[in-house]
Structure formats: C-alpha cells, structure tokens
C-alpha cells in the first residue's frame, strides 16, 4: 500500500485505536482484493485487524470498518475515501447501514445478563436497548412508560450512562441499583428519584459507559432499536412505537 499522508494515517490509526482488537474477520472476505486489502492494513497497523473489509456496489471500492469507524479503499489500496456512501436510487445510506449492523453486533456480544431488562408478560415483539442516567428527567419520563411499552410487546433493556461520568453520585447510584438483590425494583426506585441502599459488587456500569461513548452517546436517554438505529432523546410513547414498528418492518 502506498505511504499515507500524516493526516490520513492519523485517521486510520484513530479508527484502530478506538476499536477493540479483532481476533477474526467479521465475515468471510468476498474476493481476493478484499483479502489483500485486509493483509495490507494489518501490515500498516500490526495487531489491529479490521472487523470488515467488504466490496461496495461501486466496482473496485471496498468498505473498511474498525469497530464503529468506517472508511473506503480502492481495490489497489491507493485511494482512501472518508465519508458517507449513499445509494440515491434505493434511498439508502450504506455507511449508516454498516454502522447499524456494527451496533447490533456489539450489543449482541454482551452477555444477556449484563442488562437490567423489563420484558412483556406475553410475547416479546420488539426489543430496545436504552442508555440511561438515573438522574436524567427525560430518562425518568421514558421509564415511567416502560409498563405500557411492555404491554405493547416491547422489551426494554437498560445500559448505564451516567452523564456526569465515572466516580460521581449518579455513577454510584447506578452501581447500587445493579448490586441490589432486586435490580428491577431498585432501578425503578432510583428512576423515581427515591433513595436506594448503597451497595457495591462486580458491575457493568463502567463498561456500559464506555460502550455508550463508542456509540457516540451525547445525552440520555439514547435508544438503540433492534436494527441498530439510534434515537437520541426522549420520544412520546406513540411516536416511539411508530418508529419501532417502522424500523422492524424495514
């Protein structure tokens, strides 16, 4: 691969440093050019394999993804393109679609018991993942609607995102909720603004927060739909259900 400019090399390095080390390809390379690009990138940055190197609809152009960072390379490895790839005919942002898939993969990689989850009593039709802060008014408004979401067949699973950061009162309240004997009850009490007993144990609060930073969470609640689409902020339940159903249909 030709030598990259300092600016582009810095971009590629940033992609790799912000992504976890990949132990294997996310999928089988679709042709020899993709495999060759993968090998060149691994020589450029040893120990940091790209998660995806895949052909795009444009002949000779390949998408490269490290975690949640995406760029494009020509088949000969000469040209690097940073930006959005949009299919105007099908009205689809192919870059966003790849990032949605990456978010789904990252959430699916987490153990099922690493969430505080509120599930419907009957059939679960949809699942949303919510980055939430126990001291956030809009998070509390959303949580008050969880019983109704459950009745509509929506499972809600929470990840902690204390906006004040680690080692703050909101952070330690999240830890206490996780470490309570009844996590759901403790979390709900915290979301109601009530004091819960202090507790400590091994917990996912820091890893949740770190994942939220990787997802680009800037405020709470941040809702991630089953297809990986991100909804920043609170939505009234009727609007939220509309978006959930549309995303599921697509």
Peptide bond into 221 cis (omega under 30): yes
**pLDDT confidence tier of residue 164, bands split at 50, 70 and 90:** very high
Class of domain 6-94: alpha beta
Cβ–Cβ < 8 Å for 91, 101 = no
Task: Enumerate the CATH 3.40.30.10 domain ranges in the chain, comma separated.
Answer: 112-249
Task: Enumerate the CATH 3.10.450.70 domain ranges in the chain, comma separated.
Answer: 6-94
pLDDT one-digit tens code per residue, 70-90: 999 999 988 999 999 999 999
**pLDDT confidence tier of residue 127, bands split at 50, 70 and 90:** very high
- CA dihedral for 67, 72, 73, 74, sign (positive or negative): positive
- Classified as helix, coil or strand, 212 is helix
Give the pTM: 0.81
Class of domain 112-249: alpha beta
pLDDT one-digit tens code per residue, 184-201: 999 999 999 999 999 999
DSSP H helices, 115-168, are 137-144, 146-151
Token readout for 222 is: 């941040």
Give the per-residue pLDDT at 10: 52
Quote the CA–CA distance of 178 and 59 in Å, as a whole number.
Answer: 50
Quote the CA–CA distance of 75 and 61 in Å, as a whole number.
Answer: 6
Quote the CA–CA distance of 74 and 80 in Å, as a whole number.
Answer: 7
Quote the CA–CA distance of 44 and 203 in Å, as a whole number.
Answer: 37
Token readout for 122 is: 């009957």
* Count of Cβ atoms closer than 10 Å to residue 198 Cβ: 11
Q: Who contacts 232 (Cβ-Cβ below 8 Å, separation ≥6)?
A: 217, 218, 219, 222
């Amino acid at each position: 691969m030709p030598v990259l400019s300092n600016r582009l090399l810095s971009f590629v390095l940033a992609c790799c440093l912000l992504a976890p080390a990949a132990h294997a390809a996310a999928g089988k390379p679709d042709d020899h050019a993709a495999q060759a690009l993968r090998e060149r990138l691994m020589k450029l940055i040893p120990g940091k394999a790209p998660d995806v190197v895949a052909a795009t609809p444009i002949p000779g152009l390949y998408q490269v993804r490290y975690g949640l960072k995406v760029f494009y390379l020509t088949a000969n490895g000469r040209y690097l393109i940073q930006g959005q790839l949009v299919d105007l005919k099908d009205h689809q942002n192919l870059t966003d679609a790849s990032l949605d898939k990456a978010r789904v993969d990252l959430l699916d990689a987490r153990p099922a018991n690493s969430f505080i989850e509120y599930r419907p009593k009957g059939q679960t039709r949809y699942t949303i993942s919510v980055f939430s802060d126990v001291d956030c008014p809009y998070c509390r408004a959303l949580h008050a609607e969880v019983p109704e979401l459950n009745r509509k067949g929506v499972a809600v699973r929470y990840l902690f995102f204390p906006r004040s950061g680690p080692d703050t009162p909101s952070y330690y309240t999240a830890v206490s909720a996780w470490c309570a004997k009844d996590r759901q009850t403790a979390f709900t009490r915290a979301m109601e603004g009530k004091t819960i007993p202090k507790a400590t144990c091994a917990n996912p609060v820091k890893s949740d927060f770190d994942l939220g930073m990787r997802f680009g969470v800037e405020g709470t609640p941040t809702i991630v739909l089953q297809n990986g689409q991100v909804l920043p902020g609170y939505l009234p339940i009727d609007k939220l259900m509309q978006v959930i159903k549309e995303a599921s249909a697509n």
